[in-house]
Amino acid sequence: MRCPPERREEATHEAFSKLRPHVEAELEALETLEGLRDLTEEELDRRQVFMMLVSVVRQEGEAKRPARERILEVLRLKAATNSELQRRTGISTSTIRNNLFELINGGEVVGDGGRPKTYQLVTSVSRKTPRG
C-alpha cells in the first residue's frame, strides 16, 4: 500500500517517532558497551546512524518545546554531562550551559565536582527551603 504524497511527511515523522524509543535504547546499550570495551567499526557506524535518526525526530518534534523542559526531562531519567544533554536533546552546548546555570541557581539541579561535570536533579527532600 502506497502513502499518498500529501501524507508522506506526516507518515515519515510518525514512523520515526515509533522507532525513536528503540533507537535510543540501542544508543544507551552502545554507550554502556563502550564503557566496557572499544566499539567495533560496525558498532561505531550503527551509533552514528542511530544518532542521525534520533536527531531528525528530535529536531522536528521537540524543537517546539522549551530547552529547560527538555533538559529536565533527560535529567529525570538519569544524571548527565553537558555533552550527554546535548546529544539527548539536540540543544546547543551554550543553551544547555545557560539553562543549567539557571537551574542550579534555582536549586533544581546540582553538578558534581568531576570532569566532565555530571548534573542531576535535586530531590525534593534535599532542596533548600527559602529562609523567611
Rounded CA-CA distance 46/40 in Å is: 10
> Could you report the per-residue pLDDT of 64-79, keeping only the tens digit for each?
678 999 899 899 988 9
User: What is the distance, to the nearest Å, from the Cα of residue 105 to the centroid of all Cα atoms in its chain?
Assistant: 22
Give the structural domain span for 32. 1-64
In what helix (H) or strand (E) does residue 109 lie, and over which residues does it extend?
Answer: strand 109-111
Task: State the pLDDT at residue 119.
Answer: 95
Which residues, 6+ apart, have CB-to-CB distance to 56 below 8 Å?
16
Q: Are residues 2 and 17 in the same domain?
A: yes
Q: Are residues 77 and 51 in the same domain?
A: no
> Could you report the per-residue pLDDT of 17-59, keeping only the tens digit for each?
787 788 888 888 988 998 899 999 999 998 888 888 777 666 5
Task: Count how many domains the chain has.
Answer: 2
Q: Are residues 110 and 71 in the same domain?
A: yes
Last residue of a domain, one of 43, 64, 85: 64
Rounded CA-CA distance 60/27 in Å is: 19
Last residue of a domain, one of 24, 46, 64: 64
The candidate with the shortest Cα–Cα distance to 46, out of 60, 62, 30, is: 30
Q: Are residues 38 and 58 in the same domain?
A: yes
DSSP state of 81: E
**Residues of the chain with pLDDT > 70: what percent?**
86
Q: Are residues 11 and 58 in the same domain?
A: yes
The CATH number linked to 104 is 1.10.10.10
Mean pLDDT of the chain: 83
Residue 48's Cβ-side half-sphere holds a number of Cα atoms within 13 Å equal to 7
Q: Are residues 70 and 43 in the same domain?
A: no
Last residue of a domain, one of 64, 84, 114: 64
